[in-house]
Amino acid sequence: MLQDKVAIISGGTRGIGLETVRVFLENKAKVVLLGSREETVLKALEILKKENPSYEVKGFSPDLTSEEEMSCVFETTKKDYGKIDILINNAGLSSSTPIEKYTMEEYEQIMNLNIKGVFVSSKVAIPYLKETKGVILNTSSMVSQYGQPSGVLYPTSKFAVNGLTKSLARELAREGIRVNAVAPGITETDMVKNLSKEMIDPLIKSIPLGRIGTPRDIANAFLFLSSDMSNYITGEILHVDGLARS
């Protein structure tokens, strides 16, 4: 589905991000994965190359909020692969801190990565995506619609991601660039795996499909929205959460 497409995927070293990298490689894309640390990037590359030595995948660990560092990533990718078709802004920082216990340092960390990182990466990507009529995809969350009982900054940042997604979709449509977001529900990530059965079972009962999501469920949504099958879809927040909405 992504034959000869070139994708840059942030937060690509574990969980949903790593699975999305894997699904894109399986569908014949060339992928540059981005991680927060060089060692996690190298580990992810090692895992993927063991699975299939022919995968065309590279990795970097830039500061996603630095326009200079992100420009270097995009320019290097363009030199290596000739073009860039897809940007997935997946990196993010979650939080469950009660509001009275937030520090300004934690505020800056969450907002910088979850909002500024998406803004800077998208800004840098636009000249390259204009050439290919490419795609920007952002990772939102089900809490961007419902909120959550603690950790107000995480859903706040995802509300902002939704607004950025919808506004950029309107602004960039005339350039042929599509902008969408995927909003995962409860997904089988490391954090969820560490929850007790007493916490997980009630969550599963609240989902009509009767299970929590897998990273591949989310990765497949990114695959669809990156492919030519979604050429007439932009400005959408695609909820992948097993819920039945009225």
Examine the pLDDT at 79 and tell me if it is beyond 70: yes
CB 180, CB 233: distance < 8 Å:
yes
CB 141, CB 148: distance < 8 Å:
no
Examine the pLDDT at 152 and tell me if it is beyond 70: yes
The token duo for 9 is 């995927």
Average pLDDT, the chain: 94
Architecture of the CATH domain 6-240: 3-Layer(aba) Sandwich (3.40)
Instruction: Tell me the C-alpha distance between 59 and 44, whole Å.
Output: 9
Examine the pLDDT at 69 and tell me if it is beyond 80: yes
Examine the pLDDT at 71 and tell me if it is beyond 90: yes
- Give me the mean pLDDT over the 7-29 stretch: 97
Report the Cα 27 to chain-centroid distance in Å: 18
What's the pLDDT score for residue 118? 98
pLDDT in tens, 164-219: 999 999 999 999 999 999 999 989 887 677 666 776 788 888 899 989 899 999 99
CA 134-138-143 angle, 5° bins: 155
Tell me 150's DSSP state.
S
Cβ-in-10-Å burial (0-12, 13-18, 19+) of 52 comes to exposed
| Pick from 111-115, 198-202, 230-234: least confident | 198-202
Query: Catalytic site residues?
Result: 154
What's the pLDDT score for residue 145? 85
Q: Return the SS3 of 124.
A: helix
Examine the pLDDT at 102 and tell me if it is beyond 80: yes
Residue 26 CB contacts under 8 Å (≥ 6 apart), including other chains: none
Residue 193 CB contacts under 8 Å (≥ 6 apart), including other chains: none
Judged by phi (left if over 0) then psi (alpha if -120 to 50, else beta), residue 143 lies in alpha
- Give me the mean pLDDT over the 51-69 stretch: 98
Examine the pLDDT at 89 and tell me if it is beyond 90: yes
H-run or E-run covering 66: none
The token duo for 4 is 């000869």
What's the pLDDT score for residue 194? 65
